[in-house]
Amino acid sequence: MGILGPSSPSPPLPPVSVTLRLLQIDVFHNASSTDAEMRVLLGDLETHSLNCSTCEIRFLQPWAQQGLTPKQWQDLELVIHRSLFNFNRTVNRLAQQHGKGCPFVTLGCELHPNGTSRGFYDVGVNREDFISFDAVAGKWVARQGDKLALYVRQRLSRNKGAAITLQFLLRTTCVNEIKSFVQYGKESLERQGEAGHHSLRTAQQFRTGSEGGSVTTGNCRGQNWG
């Protein structure tokens, strides 16, 4: 786990609350073929993207590679591919099989000036919260009482090792990276505008709840349930 920690002493805390989010976009080619892309945003500023066929991280800001060494970024790519993408793929397949519509995944963390932080991993389906990960307890929580949500929670809960990895990513790696990005990307963030805690709007493709990072709707492209 230490390979995903900071490579230098921790930067100072941000002057305002800051949210780092990773959003997943799913492209359903047909009933059995799905591609996924991920975008990372600091506030409203897009910093990274990933194509999950390879899960190679692309750095979209000149300072976005700060905070980790090249080897640590490679290790993080591997963790994302093995843990996050597998989690998301399981949820998507189960939702698709049961005709639940388009799942939308958002995960990340918030860091506040007093040093407190909150990690979140939320999945929404059909404009409703579906399942989430409690980063403090390290457990999956069904946000609906229907059989599918309970079944997905049960399936995901079987992988204890992956849950521990996700907990570390949300509570440690993510928070360390926010500190680094705020330090090295200060000028970009100032040009972009306020990077504090607020609802996210990106080209009208996503709409998330402003409270608790909950997901209210998402966007599927090329959706075809066959």
Domain residue ranges of the chain, discontinuous segments joined by +: 2-221
Domain 2-221 falls in which CATH fold? 3.30.500
CA-to-CA separations, 32 to 94, 99, 200, 206, in angstroms, rounded = 12, 13, 31, 24
CA angle 212, 66, 76 (to 5 degrees): 65
Which pLDDT score, from 0 to 100, does residue 145 have?
A: 78
The Cα 146–Cα 47 span in angstroms is 36
Given a cut of 50, whether residue 124 has pLDDT beyond it is yes
Listed in sequence order, the residues at least 6 apart from 156 whose beta carbon sits closer than 8 Å to its beta carbon are: 87, 90, 91, 131, 140, 163
Residue 118 contacts residue 110 (beta carbons within 8 Å)? yes
179-219 pLDDT, tens digit each: 989 888 888 887 776 434 333 333 233 333 333 333 333 34
Q: 8 burial class (0-12, 13-18, 19+ CB within 10 angstroms)?
A: exposed
Which pLDDT score, from 0 to 100, does residue 5 have?
A: 53
First-residue to last-residue Cα distance in the chain: 41
The Cα 67–Cα 22 span in angstroms is 17
Least confident of 92-101, 116-125, 172-181, 204-213: 204-213
Average pLDDT over the chain, rounded to an integer: 74
Stretch 147-167: mean pLDDT: 86
